């Protein structure tokens, strides 16, 4: 399949109308979109990404009214979050409407809904004239793409079109909140932090997987955000390595990303000026490490507040074996 590159949201939307799949920028990461009501196009997403079919997709809307076509009910909690935040890097899980296809929700009776605030995404959604399901536009398991070149690297020849926008503003995926029960549960942390959500609904909780429980957000159990290189977390640039199996004297080709310049030499190094910049750069850095055959990436840990919680979540998953 030839993958068309375009900067035109009108041209990109034509592919959606002809049952195609199109990668597009959002404020979080690039998504791979298909018409939410087009079963064949949705099936193509799973093939293109090599995505396990038990991992549900997020529906993206261009306006709040479209949410009503996708859900049985906007629960009172969801209504509050919508009013406070939308459009935003925030996905709300709600009971799905009957006409929403089970292939989109991986057989769940709920659907995640999000209204991106990125202008090009909004323009594209408007031209599509339908909500789009869109997972991140990477091969399954790889770091999410934060620029169109990363999408191209993973999916050229596998999808119909890439809508070329800027590098994404945030760099980590949206916060996912289950709003189906009275206490909202954060299933995945993101730029809208637990603290932000609690300003609106103080009871909001972080979802913790209990042993033997069925995972509420199936995507969480799959391997994620992983470069080929091993990822190790270090507490600060003096390198108190959390994992005693690895020593920093390691002779392997190694990289470092963090906030403080370490005292020893690395083959590739990225120092970020803030936690926000770290979040913005981390996935692109993982990809750069892979292109340069780095064998081990040391990532400095950060405080788990604000976007730091989302960053630590992604780093821990990348470091998990």
C-alpha dihedral (87, 160, 44, 124), degrees to nearest 10: 20
> Minimum distance from CB of 320 to ligand TXA (Å)?
15
Residue from the set 9, 56, 145, 308 that interacts with ligand TXA by CB under 6 A: 56
Separation between Cα atoms, residue 101 and residue 63, nearest integer Å: 20
Question: Which token pair is 281?
Answer: 């750069």
> Minimum distance from CB of 303 to ligand TXA (Å)?
22
Binding flag, residue 301, Mg ion (CB under 5 A): no
Which secondary-structure segment (H or E) carries 114?
strand 110-114
> Minimum distance from CB of 144 to Mg ion (Å)?
5
Judging by beta carbons within 10 Å of its beta carbon (0-12, 13-18, 19+), is residue 117 exposed, middle or buried?
middle
Binding flag, residue 301, ligand TXA (CB under 6 A): no
6 binds, among Mg ion, ligand TXA, none (CB under 5 to 8 A by kind): none
Binding flag, residue 136, Mg ion (CB under 5 A): yes
Binding flag, residue 168, Mg ion (CB under 5 A): no
Question: By rule CB under 6 A, what string of x and - marks binding of each residue 115-134 to ligand TXA?
Answer: -------------------x
**Closest to ligand TXA by CB, 75 or 110:** 110
Binding flag, residue 141, ligand TXA (CB under 6 A): no
Binding flag, residue 112, ligand TXA (CB under 6 A): yes
Binding flag, residue 28, Mg ion (CB under 5 A): no
Strand order in the sheet with 31-35: 4-6, 161-163, 22-24, 31-35, 132-133, 58-60, 110-114, 90-95, 175-178, 185-188, 205-206
Question: Which token pair is 75?
Answer: 């629960």
117 binds, among Mg ion, ligand TXA, none (CB under 5 to 8 A by kind): none
Separation between Cα atoms, residue 136 and residue 112, nearest integer Å: 14
Strand order in the sheet with 230-234: 230-234, 296-300, 254-258, 268-271
Question: By rule CB under 6 A, what string of x and - marks binding of each residue 162-181 to ligand TXA?
Answer: -----------xx-x-----
DSSP state of 74: -
112 binds, among ligand TXA, Mg ion, none (CB under 5 to 8 A by kind): ligand TXA
Which secondary-structure segment (H or E) carries 172?
none
Binding flag, residue 217, Mg ion (CB under 5 A): no
Residue from the set 3, 6, 19, 55 that interacts with ligand TXA by CB under 6 A: 55
**Closest to ligand TXA by CB, 112 or 262:** 112
Sites of contact with Mg ion (CB under 5 A): 136
């Amino acid at each position: 399949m030839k993958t068309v590159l375009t900067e035109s949201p009108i041209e990109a939307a034509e592919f959606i109308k002809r049952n195609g799949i199109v990668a597009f920028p959002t404020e979080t990461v690039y998504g791979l979109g298909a018409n939410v009501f087009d079963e064949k196009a949705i099936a193509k997403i799973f093939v293109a990404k090599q995505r396990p079919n038990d991992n549900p997709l997020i529906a993206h809307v261009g306006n709040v009214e479209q949410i009503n076509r996708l859900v049985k009910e906007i629960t009172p909690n969801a209504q509050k979050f919508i009013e406070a935040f939308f459009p935003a890097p925030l996905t709300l899980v709600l009971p799905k409407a009957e006409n929403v296809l089970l292939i989109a929700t991986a057989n769940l009776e709920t659907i995640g809904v999000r209204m991106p605030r990125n202008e090009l995404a909004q323009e594209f959604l408007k031209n599509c004239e339908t909500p789009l399901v869109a997972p991140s536009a990477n091969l399954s398991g790889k770091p999410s793409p934060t620029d169109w070149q990363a999408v191209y690297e993973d999916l050229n020849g596998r999808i119909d079109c890439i809508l070329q926008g800027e590098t994404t503003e945030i760099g980590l995926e949206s916060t996912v909140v289950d709003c189906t029960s009275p206490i909202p549960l954060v299933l995945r942390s993101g730029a809208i932090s637990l603290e932000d959500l609690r300003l609106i609904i103080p009871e909001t909780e972080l979802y913790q997987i209990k042993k033997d429980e069925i995972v509420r957000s199936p995507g969480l159990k799959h391997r994620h955000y992983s470069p080929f290189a091993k990822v190790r977390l270090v507490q600060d640039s003096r390198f108190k390595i959390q994992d005693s199996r690895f020593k920093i004297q390691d002779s392997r080709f190694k990289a470092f990303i963090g906030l403080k310049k370490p005292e020893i030499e690395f083959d590739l190094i990225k120092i970020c000026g803030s936690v926000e910049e770290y979040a913005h750069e981390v996935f692109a850095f993982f990809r750069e490490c892979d292109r340069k055959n780095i064998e081990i990436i040391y990532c400095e840990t950060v405080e788990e507040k604000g976007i730091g919680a989302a960053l630590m979540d992604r780093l821990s998953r990348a470091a998990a074996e």
